[in-house]
Chain A
Amino acid sequence: MQVRRLAAWAAVPLVATLGLAACGSGDDGGSGESNPNATVSIQIGEPQHLIPTNTTETSGNQVLSALFTPLVDYDAQNKPYEVQAESIQSTDNTTWTIKLKDGYTFHNGEKVTSDSYINAWNYGAYAPNGQGASYFFEKIAGYDDLQSTDPDGEEGPQKAPEPKAKTMSGLKKVDDSTFTVTLSAPYSEFKTMLGYNAFYPLPNAAFSAPGVIKDGFEDAIIGDGPFKMKGTWQHDAKVEVEKYDAFPGEKPKVAGVEFRIYQQLTAAYADVISDNLDVVPTIPTENLTSAASDLGDRYQQSPASSFQFLAFPTFDPSFSKPEVRKAISEAIDRDEIIKSVFKDSQQSARSFVSPVVAGYRDNTCGTACVFDPAKAKSEYTAAGGPAKIQISYNGDGGHKDWVDATCNQLKTNLGVDCVGTAEPKFADLLDKVEAKKPVGMFRLGWIMDYPSMENYLGPLYTTNGSSNYYGYSNPQFDALVKEGVSAATPDEAIKKYQAAEDILANDLPVIPLRFGQNNFGYSSKVKNVEIDLFQRVNLTKIEAVS
């Protein structure tokens, strides 16, 4: 799918490991008894949107996770299991039958039916609604009929015509609690995808007419989750939710949650250490060094899905030889940079997919990711690598320190001239890359949409991948990923994906650098704080301490 926002501040540093704290997942914060009548407060940024199909960033996602119940969630192995769905089955991986559990209601009392899903998904996929997550529905048959292309391009005076259809032909209602989804091609991991927030249902009350969402619904959204909205979304201030008593699923252990909106993480951190705020899901870089002494064992880490890498413009002749790319990779001491720049808050990466997905293998990059300056230099000279290397990055994301450190290593170890070039914004960097301007190597990051190897391999490395900005293309790789997508079972798919990943180690279109981690802290008023792979606090686990 697409590069999730590795927001500037989240991208680099947010994640710190204290080697010794080694990821205990939030056990206790205080010794007091759990108090089910208390509310907890959690830091978020101002959500961009709260309509599920328009929510593509972490803050909105965190709020929606309180208000909605997903069809599937992920277990400790990051494999999907049914939550609101009774069963999700398919015999051919093309037509999927989704049965819903009985007893779920929206917060206005409306029953959750197959129509709740079908209407919400059709709304999300219909192009003129401009929903940010609409691309999640592109695997469903009939999605193309809901799109339309501007006949004279975006800049032209003509408007895009209305799409052919308003509903996807692949969605069929069987009865009130059953519907079928037909995909345009077989996809064995469709069930995994359904855990993403774009697939939440919407009640009839959301629509003022078929396919039109009521004005003001977003500010007082009605979901089907463990919490219901209390009042309305107070922009830039907070979103408050309270326990929904008629919720049939696993009940939360707190009476409500206040999602408090902060503009700066440092302010949230100051509030957490003085017990004015309960959870800060990311500790600001400035405070990483003092967090252990400020918070003690209330400062914790958990795995995250982010993946940082350096990309080669493979269309540029100076980087077209894999030998050159390998030599550059071998000249970079990842561990040293993580220690000196990131204060051990991230982990070094030597694979092309994150450790959080099923099928991950350690060190698939092989010798190319082993730091060996002597070998690197001789290989680099032999392959005739360029005498001058440029590394481009977006200057608003806090990447300067590690890019400069990397450049210094290349200077020392390869004897080349190296400069880091900052573009003002990520959009400027992408513009230049897309126009194939000489930017040299450039940094990119990735956060997954759903836990699957395909969500890394497809968008990042296939020829038409949505985030393959470096022009890497290998037909054999594309074929293996495609075979994986249409494989009969997830396990068979993983075998294909792993074979594809092995090709990457040979071609090395990008240099894997770091895997991210959640670094979070909480006050002495809460316990059992867990942060999942999507940087969300687990709201059914968290408890207030009285």
Chain B
Amino acid sequence: MFRYIVRRLLQMVLAFFGTTLIVYALMFAGQGDPIQALAGERPVTPAQRAYLTETFHLDKTGVGGFFYRYFDYIGNLLKGDLGMSLTQRKISDMISTAWPVTLKLALIGIAVAIIFGVSAGVIAGIRRGGFFDNATLLLTLLVLGIPTIVLAPLAQYFLGVKLGWFPPTAGAQPSFYALLLPGIVLGSLSLATALRLTRTSVAENMRSDYVRTAKSKGLPQRRIVGVHVLRNSLIPVVTFLGVELGNLMSGAIITEGVFNIPGIGFNLFRGIRTEDGPLVVGIVSILVVVYLICNLVVDVLYAVLDPRIRYV
């Protein structure tokens, strides 16, 4: 197991540099005029243009320029310096303020998905074909069908503004309570998928031989479901949730915008809109690391859930 983890960590280094190179190349290729993008519809004065061009090495163009800027970036990165965004703020500062709030949001989302999704999925799986099962199937279908861009403002309007149960926006230093509504909105999509995955998996396992054996041995239902069925059914769910945590971290763009949370998603969106190469690559690099770690954790969890799975 230890050797496996070390090998995976080494692969992560490779994946990290590979992805940053690709993302940097894409940003570079798609770059029009970042200085103008920064200024919006206002023309940029020659003095300011000259200043920004020099500061960000934007005069280096073409293939040679790409490698110059990429190696400049990587060189600084290895020294622990993520560089400056085109807005002339340190990217490390931007990420360190944006990160915690997005992480909290994602954790609430994933917690909602686990608590409600998995437990409802188990109940629906056990009572397959029953009223609860059909009702949840219909509800999840509805949730999966509504995109976040519709769901988030609706939740904000009805639960936040009209009923006043939650604050309509969360802000930069939100309380747990203020983050709850955006967290639920963010987690609702994973919740629906997790519910359906769990339900199918549980329903299938309920019909398997070992459950019949356990029943015939006279084990109580609680133990059959809680230990035997759940353990086997959770493998696909854990895979899904592991990858989903990474998704939630980056996929919070819409939710963060609607609830005014200046997190990673918002910064990523701003970076792409203003063609801010260093900022986008900086955030993506970190998201890559998050994904890789999540995947590693998922793989290790497999072995815990199913002792037959062993890594050499």
Q: What is A's interface to B at a CB cutoff of 8 Å?
A: 2-8, 11, 48, 56-57, 127-132, 134-135, 147, 149-150, 154-155, 157, 159-160, 234-238, 260-264, 266-268, 270-271, 273-274, 276, 394, 397, 425-428, 430-431, 445, 466-467
Contacts and interface: CB of A to CB of B under 8 A. Distances in A.
Contact of A428 (B32, B53, B97, B169): B32
B48 A130 contact: yes
B257 A263 contact: yes
B169 A3 contact: no
A147 B43 CA distance: 18
Contact of A56 (B42, B89, B164): B42
Interface string B162-175: 00100111011100
B41 A268 contact: no
B61 A134 contact: no
B58 to A, nearest CB: 9
A128 B47 contact: yes
Interface string B38-49: 111111111111
Contacts of B50: 127, 130, 150, 154, 160
A238 B172 contact: yes
Nearest to A149: B46
Given A154-B50, A427-B37, A266 B258 contact: yes
B89 to A, nearest CB: 7
Contacts of A128: 47, 51
B183 interface: no
B59 interface: yes
Nearest to B43: A2
Q: Of B43, B54, B256, which is in contact with the most chain A CB atoms at under 10 Å from its CB?
A: B43
Given A235-B89, A431-B33, A155 B260 contact: no
Nearest to A136: B45
Q: Chain A interface secondary structure, helix, strand, loop or mixed?
A: loop
Contacts of A147: 46-47
B309 interface: no
A6 B211 CA distance: 67
A267 B42 contact: no
Contact of A131 (B46, B48, B61, B169): B48
A7 B40 contact: yes
A57 B41 CA distance: 11
Contacts of B87: 48
A129 B45 CA distance: 12
20 contacts: A5-B39, A8-B40, A129-B47, A130-B55, A131-B48, A132-B42, A132-B45, A147-B47, A235-B262, A236-B97, A236-B98, A262-B169, A267-B156, A270-B161, A270-B169, A276-B167, A425-B32, A426-B40, A427-B33, A466-B43
Interface of B: 32-33, 36-55, 59, 61, 87, 89, 93-94, 97-98, 153, 156-157, 160-161, 164, 167-169, 171-173, 256-260, 262, 266-267, 270
B61 A155 contact: yes
A154 B49 CA distance: 9
A169 B51 CA distance: 23
A127 B44 CA distance: 13
By Cβ-Cβ distance, the 4 closest A-B pairs, closest first, are A130-B51, A237-B172, A236-B262, A427-B36
Given A131-B48, A274-B160, A5 B42 contact: yes
Contact of B266 (A150, A260, A263, A276): A263
Given A261-B262, A270-B156, A135 B33 contact: no
Contacts of B59: 154-155, 157
A56 B43 CA distance: 11
Contacts of A274: 160-161, 164, 167-168
B168 A270 contact: yes
Contacts of B44: 132
A56 B48 CA distance: 12
Given A154-B50, A264-B257, A427-B33, A237 B42 contact: no
Given A130-B47, A150-B50, A261-B262, A5 B40 contact: yes
Nearest to A129: B51
B47 A131 contact: yes
B102 to A, nearest CB: 12
Given A236-B172, A431-B33, A134 B54 contact: no
Contacts of A150: 50
A235 B98 CA distance: 10
A111 B32 CA distance: 46
Contact of A130 (B52, B156, B164): B52
